[in-house]
Structure 1
Amino acid sequence: MDELIIGIFAFVGGISRYGLDHLIPFGDYFPVATLVINVLGSFLLALVTTAWSLNERISARLTLGIGTGLIGAFTTFSSFSLEIFDLLVNHHYLLGIAYATLSLVSGVVGAGLGVFLGEKLKPTGEELK
């Protein structure tokens, strides 16, 4: 059953990534869409897992579906890696390094903000009863 839940949510995540990827312009060389998608995914995964941890009202299957399925399919390490490779092969060394650095730093910051907000939204002991 978990595989089905993950698959359904992954379909939604993949379609969402495809749609957002086509809404955000690529720019001349800089892969803006993948950067935005991965940072947003880092934020959302941290937010969901933090806010929903220890909350017995939230189904573990729902958390699995959203975290592993939807957000996992929404974000894309493979595109990120290929885009860096393409920038480097095409002699855009500074852009490749800047993209990799910006992606890593902003992804960690996004996750940090997600944890921070998730802590604020996490129900207290009284609300869990």
Structure 2
Amino acid sequence: MNAAPMLAVFCGAGLGALLRWWLGMLLNSVFPTLPLGTLAANLIGGLLIGLAVGFFSHNGGLAPEWRLFAVTGFLGGLTTFSTFSAEVVSLLAHGQYHWAVLAAGVHLFGSLTCTAAGWGVANWLFIPK
């Protein structure tokens, strides 16, 4: 097996996870009921994955390790469905049902909107006119 794809994912994931940790340290205490670090990681990740998918779909000549580094590694390490899920379940367990629904809605709608926006920007930038 070629080590280059594994190294690309490994390096990207480490950098993405460090950014996610940093966002949590910086933002989660600002509004503990809806941890903003997790939300920021997912929204930024959504925007960047839209940009990346659009970019890579128009730049097929790049080595596949770049996509593995950026999408699978970095953005996989940055975004966090499991932390978001744990935060929503914790809100439910503490009887904060309205906050749980709000958090779930903001993460889902926000991430999808950011991904679509990123994809749209990438297509605007990279589709030949």
TM-score of the two chains, using structure 2 as the length reference = 0.90
- Provide the C-alpha distance between the structure 1 equivalents of 2:24 and 2:59, rounded to a whole number of angstroms: 33
Per the alignment, in what secondary structure is the counterpart of residue 30 of structure 1? coil
* Post-superposition offset of 1:51: 1.8
1:49 matched to 2:57? no
Aligned-pair identity (%): 26
1:18 matched to 2:30? no
1:60 matched to 2:90? no
* Post-superposition offset of 1:123: 4.7
CA-to-partner distance for each residue in 1:41-89, whole Å, 9 max, x for gaps?
A: 0110111110221313432210111100000001101000000000000
* Post-superposition offset of 1:36: 1.2
> Is the 1:50–1:115 contact (alpha carbons within 8 Å) kept by the matching residues of 2?
yes
* Post-superposition offset of 1:25: 3.5
> Is the 2:20–2:41 contact (alpha carbons within 8 Å) kept by the matching residues of 1?
yes
Aligned to 2:92: 88
Q: Which moved further from structure 2: 28-37 or 110-119?
A: 28-37
Aligned to 1:7: 10
Q: Which moved further from structure 2: 19-28 or 58-67?
A: 19-28
Per the alignment, in what secondary structure is the counterpart of residue 20 of structure 2? helix
TM-score of the two chains, using structure 1 as the length reference = 0.90
CA-to-partner distance for each residue in 1:7-65, whole Å, 9 max, x for gaps?
A: 01111111111111111143141121111110110110111110221313432210111
- Counting matched residue pairs gives 125
Aligned to 2:125: 121
| Structure 1 consecutive aligned stretches of length 4 or more whose deviation exceeds 2 Å | 56-59
Question: Which amino acid counterpart does residue 55 of structure 2 have in structure 1?
Answer: A
1:75 matched to 2:83? no
Gaps of 5+ in 2: none
- Provide the C-alpha distance between the structure 1 equivalents of 2:60 and 2:73, rounded to a whole number of angstroms: 20
Per the alignment, in what secondary structure is the counterpart of residue 53 of structure 1? helix
> Is the 1:55–1:123 contact (alpha carbons within 8 Å) kept by the matching residues of 2?
no
